[in-house]
A and B are shown apart, each in its own frame.
Chain A
Amino acid sequence: MVAHEVIPLELKRIRGILVIMVLMLLVLAGVLFQLQVARSEEFEQSLRRQSLRRVRLPATRGRILDRSGGRLADNQPCYCLAFYLEDIRKPGRWQNTVDEVLRRIKSLEPVVGRRSLVGAEEIRMHIRKRLPLPLVAWRSLDPAALARLAEATVDLSGTDIYIEPMRVYPGGEKAAHLLGYVGSAVLPDGVQAEYQYRLPEVEGKSGIERHFNDVLSGEAGGRLVRINAAGFKYSEAREREPDPGADVILSLDGRIQELAEVAIRGVPGAVVVLDPSNGDVLALASSPAFSPGSFVPSLRPEVWEGLLKSPEKPLSNRAVTELYAPGSIFKPVVALAGLASGKWSAEMTVHCPGYYLLGGYRLRCWNPNGHGTVNLRKAIEQSCNAYFAALGMQCGEQAIGRMAMEFGLGRKTGIALDREPDGLVPTPEWKKKTLGDKWRPGDTCNFSIGQGALSVTPLQMAVVASVLANGGDVFAPRLVLEVRGRDGAVLTNYPPVLAGRVAVRPESMQVVRRGMHDVIMAPTGTGGKARIAGIEMAGKTGTAEYGTSGNRRKHGWMIAFAPYENPRVAVAMVVDEAVSGGTTVAPRLHALMDGIFHPEGAGG
């Protein structure tokens, strides 16, 4: 019977299939045994070498505040439109994805109203180097653009608004040189190697931003991302939250700073206002200034070129880094040197015929008609060169040099800013060494009237003014009061530093201060234009020549302190191209002092 033969064949074949299936399962079991038992160790190891990538997360930068908490440097959210390329990924070659992103950028450009920051090359670079991170296509979107985006009908999948902290300087150019500016951070190689991906990060390039960069930048955090070699991200496990930077509290008085900036606006120059009782820098301004905000997020090259090439050097902080001859404002120091040497007294008089005769050479006094016979107090008031030349010749360059050093000249004040020079207090040894020439009497004469090789910064002269104001205490200028954590706790406190004391008898100091009082308060004083209503002030004008003989130019100077009794401010002000201290600087000093002592224009 046919069926009888057929059925055993079917059964045989079913058994055959069963055998094949059992064999296949045995193969599976065998391979599984290989993997899980025999080679288990090897896979354990592979497991540990999984591909983890570290992303560096910059911390929020600390703020810079003035002494009353006014914000000088802060952060604000910057809205960026970013693409998440992993979500946009198109099948096939990466070029497809690049094309897709370009297509989206094109459709978004009219909505955003601006051209995108990225092109095909940037997209390719991003895919190669930092695929798991968002690709920022537009920065600093304004509210109008955000609103248009929210209503736009374009495809926004894989697109997100991404917030980056952006450095802002609410005061515009205010205190620009002190604050400095930030730029893209350059991480040391070691740190660089630790992270495979980095988010944009800034670091201070000058000013407080640079000097206190470590404090301000806080502790960067890190995030672990698991990726495969195609660069895709599988998951994130935040490793460490970034630790936000601390706030730096400056000694700056926001109001006085503004007054100081107004006072020297329009001319190249600098002004420093110190509190003579502790050395606090109440204001420090340099003109012309720049806008630190223009460096964020990055400076346009042409602006940078302009800043670098301008002959007025807007990036340089004249108050701290530029050296000047002090001219006549050095005379109070010379006077004290004479008195302290014991070879001169306040009552000694000199007849000034309009010049000082040294050998056969006439050292001209600024008043060709001569000052007649003057004593020390009058000589300071009138800034008589003949008198100080005679005084200097009497006590010698050694005594003047020593006194200058006691006032802190010839060395850094130690302010918390970079690139501060020492300045120079010349000595015979110095001249021999650098110029190969011996010290001559003419050098002493020049030294006595603040000319010659002597060079100072405006900040150093503000310290001199401050010492004269408080009667002898040399405080190091204190720019930073404290560093405060984000929670307001004080992390570091910087107490005033008394760097030294000028050793002169009180009577000597008194007579010099009287002379400076007359400079401003006497009807004939050289600094009369600085006078303000109701406050007795003291000061000294100065005009220092510089440049070549064919191109003589003059710095105008003033140092001053006020009120005369119990001074609260000590000021040094310099204007690069001046007629004279009394004509050019005194009115500007008037504006500053008037503003300080008569807020809201109450005074005259």
Chain B
Amino acid sequence: MNRRSEFLLLLSRMNWLMLAAVLALMTIGIIFIHSATHVREDVTSGLYQKQILWALAGLGAYVAATLFDYRKLRDAAWWIYAMALILLVAVLFFGTRIYGARRWLMFFGTGIQPSELGKLAVIVLAACLLSPPAGKFERLPPLGWMLFLAGVPMLLVLKEPDLGSALVYAPVMLAMLFVAGSAARPLVILVLSGLLLVFLVLGVVALPEKIGMSPEKQEKFFRAIHLTEYQRDRIEVFLDPSRDPMGTGWNKRQSEISVGSGGLTGKGFRKGTQNILGFLPRTVAPTDFIFSVIAEETGFAGAMTVIGLHGVLALCGLYSAMAARDKMGRLLCVGVVTMVFTHAFVNMAMTIGLLPIVGIPLPLVSYGGTFMVITLSALGLVQSVHVRRPGV
């Protein structure tokens, strides 16, 4: 069989439903990026055109990843991981500062976000380490070692600071450990202590004022525990949105109004007044808050479509995981699906006021080049696993 027909055969075994969901989400993204920016007269009104280019580049990566045999990653996993770490360190020193955080590395005029690459690198490495090479006995590496491997890039991302992206590492690693067969009890303890930590932080933020500390003392206290005012504000608003309805809670509140006023069927394409009038901050409308634009303009029906498509994506990915030929493929799929799903869930949940605003994009829909290419590459790896499944 020659190479070309081999490729065609592989492609024909693709998970077509998943591809359809991917294409649908990307199309929705491009349409509503246009809607979110069309009222602007500056260069950003061309964002959707740039997004189309990124989408095409991403689809190229998707097909390439599909054709690439994921099993070859076993040799490259450490290298990819090392490269991601180098980039994550580099961004702390050479990164471009935007809104007070260094998240971007500039290459030939294009910004890339190493934190996105880092997630994929951890998934690949974990998939390799948690599955035995051919002919070896099943023996999981120690839990602490795995947590350390995920923890290093996570802390580097946290340092940028990019809290949202950093948090995604946790569920991804936990899901992979869980599926890999790690004992359930330590994982449950881990999850519970994680949640406990979150509540503790929330408590720490809210407590000083509750017990009547003076503003100066509060200031000192928060400096001592390394919590910036910006982070504190966001957490406080999440705890009590009515506390400052027009201050820091602005984005959250506006986003809720956007979504809420959309009603059952929305206000129509490019008719979202929240967006047109600029109440929804224009800098975030096409990126982190694209979901609220969609929800406002297409209503409950449109928003459910997006939720449904992400559900289909997760379903297809996990189906591929179950159908995978080996454990590595299975873990790869679980990792990628968890990553994409976590992004989607957190993004939509913060848009509708269910979670604090942490600033992570909606996969395949939000504007953003690096994340688009990384997501499509990752989903391409899922297809790579899928097309090589046994028994067809």
Q: Measuring CB to CB, which residues of chain A are less than 8 angstroms from any residue of chain B?
A: 2-3, 6, 9-11, 13-18, 21-22, 24-25, 27-29, 31-33, 35-37, 39-40, 42-44, 46-47, 50-51, 91-93, 226, 228-230, 234-235
Contacts and interface: CB of A to CB of B under 8 A. Distances in A.
A2 B321 CA distance: 20
Given A21-B311, A36-B300, 8 more contacts: A10-B327, A14-B321, A25-B307, A28-B352, A36-B263, A50-B277, A228-B247, A230-B247
B23 interface: no
Interface in B255-287: 256-257, 259-264, 273-274, 277-279, 281-282
A92 B99 CA distance: 12
Interface of B: 100, 138, 175, 178-181, 228-230, 244-248, 250, 256-257, 259-264, 273-274, 277-279, 281-282, 295, 299-300, 303-304, 307, 310-311, 314-315, 318, 321-322, 327, 330, 334, 337-338, 341, 345, 348-349, 352-354
B261 A40 contact: yes
Contacts of A14: 179, 318, 321-322, 330, 334
A43 B256 contact: yes
A31 B256 CA distance: 11
Contact of A37 (B100, B264, B307, B311): B264
B246 A228 contact: yes
Q: Which one of A16, A27, A46 has the greatest number of beta carbons of chain B within 10 Å?
A: A46
11 contacts: A13-B181, A18-B318, A21-B345, A22-B311, A31-B354, A36-B295, A36-B300, A40-B264, A44-B261, A226-B279, A235-B278
A27 B181 CA distance: 28
B345 A47 contact: no
Contacts of B307: 25, 28-29, 32
The 10 closest A-B pairs by CB, nearest first: A229-B246, A43-B260, A235-B278, A36-B300, A228-B250, A234-B278, A35-B260, A43-B261, A40-B263, A47-B261
A27 B279 CA distance: 27
Given A32-B307, A47-B273, A47-B274, A42 B260 contact: yes
Q: Which one of A16, A47, A50 has the greatest number of beta carbons of chain B within 10 Å?
A: A47
Contacts of B246: 51, 228-230
Contacts of B334: 14, 17
Contacts of A24: 345
A1 to B, nearest CB: 12
A31 B245 contact: no
A36 B281 contact: no
B318 A229 contact: no
Q: Which one of A40, A42, A51 has the greatest number of beta carbons of chain B within 10 Å?
A: A40
Main secondary structure of the interface of B (DSSP, over half): helix
A230 B264 contact: no
A593 to B, nearest CB: 65
B300 A33 contact: yes
A229 B175 CA distance: 41
A36 B180 CA distance: 40
Contact of B352 (A32, A37, A44): A32
Contacts of B278: 226, 234-235
Given A14-B179, A18-B318, A228-B246, A92 B229 contact: yes
A32 B179 contact: no
A36 B248 contact: no
A234 B281 contact: yes
B304 A29 contact: yes
B147 to A, nearest CB: 18
B273 A17 contact: no
A137 B229 CA distance: 29
Given A28-B348, A226-B277, A36 B264 contact: yes
B318 to A, nearest CB: 5
B295 A28 contact: no
Given A18-B318, A32-B300, A36-B262, A13 B100 contact: no
Nearest to B248: A230
B298 to A, nearest CB: 10
Given A35-B256, A47-B257, A235 B277 contact: yes
Nearest to A18: B318
A132 to B, nearest CB: 13
A21 B304 contact: no
Contact of B259 (A3, A10, A36, A228): A36
B215 to A, nearest CB: 11
Nearest to B259: A35
A51 B244 CA distance: 14
Nearest to A27: B354
Contacts of A44: 260-261, 263
Contacts of B261: 40, 43-44, 46-47
A9 B318 contact: no
A28 B373 CA distance: 26
Given A32-B304, A36-B260, A39-B260, A229 B295 contact: no
B327 A91 contact: no
B322 A11 contact: yes
B319 to A, nearest CB: 9
A36 B100 contact: no
Contact of A229 (B245, B256, B322, B341): B245
Contact of A10 (B179, B299, B348): B179
B380 to A, nearest CB: 20
A67 to B, nearest CB: 48
Nearest to B314: A21
Contacts of B299: 36
A37 B345 CA distance: 20
A13 B188 CA distance: 13
Contact of A234 (B279, B311, B315): B279
A17 B333 CA distance: 12
A114 B87 CA distance: 48
Contact of B229 (A46, A93, A228, A230): A93
B181 A32 contact: no
A471 B173 CA distance: 110
Contacts of A18: 314-315, 318
A10 B262 contact: no
Contacts of A230: 246-248, 250
A40 B228 CA distance: 35
Contacts of A40: 260-264
A37 B277 CA distance: 23
Given A36-B262, A91-B100, A17 B304 contact: no
A396 to B, nearest CB: 80
A92 B248 CA distance: 12
A155 B250 CA distance: 31
B318 A6 contact: no
A431 B337 CA distance: 107
A226 B250 CA distance: 12
Contacts of A9: 181
Contacts of B322: 11, 14-15
